[in-house]
Amino acid sequence: MMRTLLFILLGCFPLLASAGVTFSQLASVSSTPEQLSGRFVQTRYLSALDADLVSEGVFNYQRDGFIRWQIRQPIESELLMTPQTIINRQDGQELLRLESDKSPVVALLSSIFFSVMTAEWEVLENYFLLSGDIQGQQWYADLLPKDSSVLQVVSRIELKGDTLLREVILHEKSGDRTTIQFQQLLNDQ
Amino acid sequence: MISENMRHKAVATGWLLLVVLLVSLAIKQGPAFDSSIFALLPESEQNPVITSATEQMAEDFSRRLILVVSGEQGGAVRTAVKTAASALLELDEVASVVWQVSDNELEKLSDELNPYRFTVLDEDLRQRLLEGSFEEIKARALFRLYSPLTMGNNSLIEDPFGLYAELSMNRHSHLNLKISDGLLQVPDTAQPTYMLIVNLAGDPFSFKVQNSVLGVVGNLSQKVRQAGVEIRRSGMLLHAAAGARQANSEISTIGLGSLLGIVIVVLLAFRRLKSLLLMLLPVAVGCAVASAVTLLIFERVHLITFAFGAGLVGVAIDYALHFLCERRVTDSGFVLKKILPGLGLGLFSSVIAYAAMALTPFPGLRQMAVFSVVGLVAAWLTVVLWLPLLTRQDVISELSFAIYLAKLRAGLPRLEQQPLLIALLFVASFVAAFGLWNSKSLDDVRLLQTSPASLINEEGQVQKLLGAGSSSRFIVISAASLEQCLQLEESLAVDLNMLKDTGELQGYRAVSQVLPSLQRQQYNAELVGQLYQSSLAGFYLGLKLTQQHGLDSTANLTQGQATLLSPEAWRQLKSSENWKDLILQQTDGSVVTIVSLTGEVDDVLQARLRSIVTGYEGMYYVDRVGGITELLTSYREQIVDWVGLAYLLVFLILLRRYRMQVWRILLPPLLASLFTLALLAQIEQGINLFHLMALILVLGIGLDMGIFLTESRDHSHTWLAVSLSAYTSLLAFGLLAMSNTPVLHHFGLTVLLGLTFVWLLVPLMRNATPGEND
């Protein structure tokens, strides 16, 4: 009896899998260039004030190396992320330096953001459950944290793209959310 | 004659009653043992605050077993963690297992300090407030708002400057851990590594606890090894279990071996079971009375006293052997008369030697002195009072063994006839003394270490992974109230932070880091008020927020400034769990807190810390490892002095009776000690306390040998008695040289060498016996 049931279940498994999207499918559709640069527009929605804070600037990254995030409007501020540190500079001065080995929160934060930006699906798979769909070149992924420690940092991530990532929405459990749109992406530096 | 016999019987009965009384009194009080090395510290140096703090640290450490589970595959490791936790939780001997953090606990952890964001501040932020760097705080807040990363709650009304975000970003647990999948993960490891903390319900020294807990862990380790998962362990339980295992196996091998050897030789020599029993009786009475009296005087008997006191057997057995050997050649009524001067002098000299130790300021040595003196007197009284009565019916029959031994001895040259031998001894003594002069001594805490190296290695790996603070070096702060302790800690923090900035100190952990003093909290609230006053309006204007928002935010501040984190509220917090053990409530209402240090603490840093601490009232630097080393050093130095004094006293006493012959008695143990020490200095890493303690035993037995032989004019049966005495001591203690426990090994090896030398030297220095030409 159990064996029959198991057979049926196993038989259904490929069907079940095709109903959603797997991280490996996403990996095959999207490309993760070694280097990438472009412009971004970021809109942060603050639920308590029901207001948007918009900022824009340029960014570039080196896979497995760093992400440089330069805000031009409304303030001048630069964020340099490596897997070990998060450094913020304003007016050429180092304002903030967070070491991931000193704070577990920082470690988690930088690990997630790094993986989102550089589309490291195998890392994201450790933290999130995936749903979404792929239609031709266009794909959409919806990530829900597996783990409550991740939930403290981000409650849901939405990603949209074609060969490259085009839009990220980071939801927080407070109801705030951050939408980042990428433009003028260039991967042949 | 009759009346004398009656009197003897009456006194013997009196002694019996006294023995029974003392032992039953001790039993009524109940045996209590002490194994803390600190109980041996001189009283004047022992501060009750430090003692209780160290005991607390040791207690916490001893009740905790840490398991680190790691492997190639995260899934397999996590399964192993869960299996281990549920298996351990089933045991009665386990009070709790810390291994997971539930969602709701995590939620609580992340938000519970938010209400105190204006009074409990991040240290760096506080510095910026103190320096008045409001612009920098504003810039950081802006960056947080526009950063793509969400760093803490960006509530523009409740906390526009992100005070709580700054705090929660930098908060980290005292252990190097993060939470992943609800489990405690050790970050930055090559393989996925998780941790479990097992809190034991029972005493780690109990066999039941050891067996059940380590049994479960052992089985599990075997099972998960196939899945490529490794379990490493750290905790007192492991050391206690290893020690017990070792002691067990040594008692059954070394202990049984020596007992068997003694029984066989005594039976061979006397060919009577009764003799064996009679020989053991004074020893048993001596040990029982010594234990009883020590217990009654000191309330608790230290285990080291027992170990040393056991050495007493070797001396106590002398009196019995001497009597029994003499009884074989002398009539019942005359034995005592004949040997009493020798027995008396033997006892007197040994008692003087041991009693000298009672004058030292060390409670440990004093206890040993009492134990030894009482034990010797009791054994002596038993021989003198009971043995004549118990052997009244025995017939006289010379022992063939004695005649054989005497022949053997007669073959040895006498020193006085051999100028070459004298010269040889002189040279040997000179070489030995020279070697000793250049030798070093060893007072390392590892002397007291009993665990195998593999275990210590495993322990070290776990501690390193977790980056745990040292449990042996810390600062103790004592004050009338917790508030005062916290204020003291805050002053100390200024010094410690300076050492941290220069890189000398890796880090430290203090309650005040998570629970600022109320004074500090009020000041913090004032500082935040200044920030709002100077920067809030401008900040809001830049973000195009309305005036109403400003009013809301200020109202929020006013409310928050009054919200102080009281110690009582703090204790209820989830995050205080790992910090509570740094506070020790004293019975008199005062409070002691501990500041623990992380990373390596070298000598230079120790000196700095010591000098910093002297600047504050009620603050002490504790170095348990160093403390033990100092303790061993001072005990060693004291013992050398007292052994010297003991020899001098004994020399003066014996001089009165033996005049120019005194060298025959004193020189053998003296030279034997010298040779033994010189040899030990060569074959061991250095002379230590336990070598010297064993030498006192060599002195005791050596003196008896010389005195008995001189008194009996080197009678063959006396020679048998002292030979047997040396032999039994050799077996009882010399065999300990094979022990893996350092203390016992050192003690045993010294006795082995020392008694062998004494036994060889005594006949060389004998007087001419009738028939031998002078």
Chain B residue closest to A52 (CA)? B543
Beta carbons of B106 and A148 less than 8 Å apart: yes
Contact of A92 with chain B, judged by CB distance below 8 Å, is answered with no
Contact A72, B147 (CB under 8 A): no
Mean pLDDT, range B27-47, rounded to an integer: 64
E strand spans, B486-644: 507-509, 583-585, 591-598, 619-623
Residue A112 to chain B, least CA–CA distance (Å): 10
Mean pLDDT along residues A121-146: 86
For B45-57, the DSSP string reads G--HHHHHHHHHH
Query: Among partner residues B110, B148, B181, which is closest to A152 by beta-carbon distance?
Result: B110
User: Using 50, 70 and 90 to split pLDDT, how confident is the model at B355?
Assistant: confident
Compute how many other C-beta atoms are within 10 angstroms of the C-beta atom of residue B408. 12
For residue A10, the model assigns a pLDDT of 42
Nearest CA in chain A to B155: A48
Q: Contact B148/A95, CB-based, under 8 Å?
A: no
Determine which helix (DSSP H) or strand (DSSP E) holds B495, and give its type and residue range: helix B482-501
For residues B248 and B488, the model is more confident at: B488
Nearest alpha-carbon partner for A79 in A52, A114, A51: A114
Vertex A28 angle, CA A26 and A29, to 5°: 65
Any CB–CB contact under 8 A between B156 and chain A? yes
Least confident of B394-398, B655-659, B704-708: B394-398
d(CA B316, CA B104): 68
- Per-residue pLDDT of B328-343, as tens digits, reads 888 877 888 888 888 8
- Interface membership of A143 toward B (CB under 8 Å): no
Q: Which amino acid belongs to residue B504?
A: E
**What pLDDT score does B520 carry?**
94
Would residue A21 be called left, alpha or beta, if left means φ above 0 and alpha means ψ between -120 and 50 degrees?
beta
Which of A49, A71, A104 comes nearest B172 by C-beta?
A: A104
All residues of chain B having their beta carbon less than 8 Å from the beta carbon of residue A53 are: 145-146, 543
A151 touches B: beta carbon within 8 Å: yes
CB contact under 8 A, B543 and A53: yes
- Tell me how far apart the alpha carbons of residues A88 and A40 are, in angstroms, rounded to a whole number: 18
Q: Please indicate whether residue B48 or residue B174 has the higher confidence score (pLDDT).
A: B48
Beta strands in B539-630 (DSSP E): 583-585, 591-598, 619-623
Mean per-residue pLDDT, B361-367: 74
Give the per-residue pLDDT at B43: 53
| Chain A residue with the nearest C-alpha to that of B128 | A95
For a pLDDT cut of 90, what percent of chain B falls above it?
A: 11
- Cα B261 to the center of its chain, rounded Å: 32
Q: DSSP of B18-76, one letter per residue?
A: HHHHHHHHHHHH---EE--GGGGS-GGG--HHHHHHHHHHHHHHHTEEEEEEEES-HHH
Determine contact: A88 vs chain B, CB below 8 A: yes
Tokens representing residue B369 in the block: 């002195």
**What span, in angstroms and rounded, lies between the C-alpha atoms of B385 and B13?**
9
- pLDDT the model gives residue B470: 62
Residue B301 CB burial class (10 angstroms; 0-12, 13-18, ≥19):
buried
Query: Is the predicted pLDDT of residue B472 greater than 80, yes or no?
Result: no
Compute the mean pLDDT over every residue in chain B, rounded to the nearest whole number: 82
Task: Note the pLDDT of residue A53.
Answer: 87
Token pair in block for residue B400: 């063939």
The amino acid that residue B252 corresponds to is S
Instruction: Look at residue B699 and tell me whether its pLDDT is greater than 80.
Output: yes
Using DSSP bridges, classify how beta strands A128-135 and A156-161 pair: parallel, antiparallel or unpaired.
Answer: unpaired
Chain B CB contacts of A48 below 8 Å: 155-158
**Range 305-344 of B in CB contact (< 8 A) with A:** none
C-alpha distance from B525 to closest chain A C-alpha (Å) = 23
For residue A95, give the nearest of B143, B149, B171 by CB distance.
B143
Please judge whether B155 and A48 are an interchain contact, meaning their C-beta atoms are less than 8 angstroms apart: yes
Higher pLDDT among residues B567 and B472, named by residue: B567
CB contacts of B541 in chain A (<8 Å) are none
B164-168 contacts: CB < 8 A, separation 24 or more?
Answer: B164/B113, B164/B114, B164/B117, B166/B121, B166/B122, B166/B124, B166/B125, B166/B140, B167/B113, B167/B117, B167/B120, B167/B121, B167/B122, B167/B125, B168/A105, B168/B110, B168/B113
In chain B, residues with a C-beta closer than 8 Å to the C-beta of A101 are 187-188
* Contacts B136 to A, Cβ<8 Å: 95
Q: State how far the Cα of B328 lies from the Cα of B396, in Å rounded to an integer.
A: 5
Mutate to test the interface with B, among A105, A116, A123, A177 (most CBs of B within 10 A): A105
CB-CB neighbours of A67 under 10 Å: 21
How do residues B78-104 score in pLDDT, each as one tens digit? 889 999 999 998 988 888 888 877 666
Q: Is B671 helix (H, G, I), strand (E, B) or coil?
A: helix
pTM: 0.68
CA–CA distances in Å: residue B562 to residues B110, B276, B521 = 22, 83, 10
B154–A90 CB contact, under 8 Å: no
Per DSSP, which regions of B294-434 are E strands? 301-302
Distance of CA B225 to CAs B171, B220, B234, B235, B773, Å? Answer: 36, 8, 18, 21, 77
- In terms of Cβ atoms closer than 10 Å to its own Cβ (0-12, 13-18, 19+), residue A8 is exposed
Check CB contact of A97 with chain B, cutoff 8 Å: no
Strand ranges for B353-398 from DSSP E: none
- Whether A114 shows a pLDDT value over 80: the answer reads yes
- Mutation target among B143, B153, B541 for the A interface, most CBs of A within 10 A: B143
User: Nearest chain B Cα to A181, which residue?
Assistant: B148
Three-class secondary structure of residue B152 per DSSP: coil
For residue B623, what pLDDT is reported? 79
Q: Mind listing the pLDDT tens digit for each residue in B108-141?
A: 666 788 889 899 998 888 999 999 888 888 888 8
pLDDT at B1: 52
Nearest CA in chain A to B143: A77
Q: What would the mean pLDDT of B148-177 be, rounded to a whole number?
A: 73
CB contact under 8 A, A96 and B143: yes
Select the more confidently predicted residue: B577 or B129: B129
Q: Which two tokens stand for residue B537?
A: 């309006």
- How buried is B665 (Cβ within 10 angstroms: 0-12 exposed, 13-18 middle, 19+ buried)? buried
Query: What's the token pair of residue B716?
Result: 């063959």
Asked whether the beta carbons of B263 and B276 are under 8 A apart, the reply is: yes
The most distant pair of C-alpha atoms in chain A lies apart, rounded to whole Å, by 72
Sign, CA dihedral A122-A128-A133-A135, equals negative
Q: CA B469 to CA B507: how far, in whole Å?
A: 9
B668 vs B142: CA distance, rounded Å: 88
Cβ contact B308:B365 at 8 Å: no
Residue of chain A with shortest Cα separation from B124: A96
Judge whether B189 is closer than 8 Å to chain A, CB to CB.
no
Give the mean pLDDT of A122-146. Answer: 86
Which residues does chain A have within 8 Å of residue B154's beta carbon, measured at their own beta carbons? 44, 46, 176
Cβ–Cβ of B150/A170 closer than 8 Å? yes
Given a contact cutoff of 8 angstroms between Cβ atoms, the answer to whether B346 and B707 are in contact is: yes
Per the DSSP assignment, residues forming a β-bridge with B479 are: B591
Which residues of chain A have a CB within 8 Å of the CB of B542?
74
Interface residue of B136, B146, B574 to substitute, partner A, most A CBs within 10 Å: B146
Q: How far apart are CA A130 and CA A144, in angstroms?
A: 7
Let me know the angle formed at the C-alpha of B153 by B152 and B159, rounded to the nearest 5 degrees.
115
Would you call the peptide bond into B42 cis, given omega within 30 degrees of 0 as the criterion? Answer: no
Please state, in angstroms and as integers, the Cα–Cα distance from residue B650 to each residue in B571, B646, B655, following that order: 63, 6, 8
The shortest C-alpha distance from B516 to chain A (Å) reads 21
User: How far is it, in rounded angstroms, from Cα B351 to Cα B345?
Assistant: 10
d(CA B247, CA B325): 35
- Are the Cβ atoms of A90 and B178 closer than 8 angstroms? no
Please, what's the largest Cα pairwise distance for chain B? Answer: 123
B439 vs chain A: nearest CA distance in angstroms? 48
**Mean pLDDT to the nearest integer, B572-591:** 81
The enclosing H or E element of A138 equals strand A138-145
Angle value at C-alpha B259, between B254 and B264, nearest 5 degrees: 130
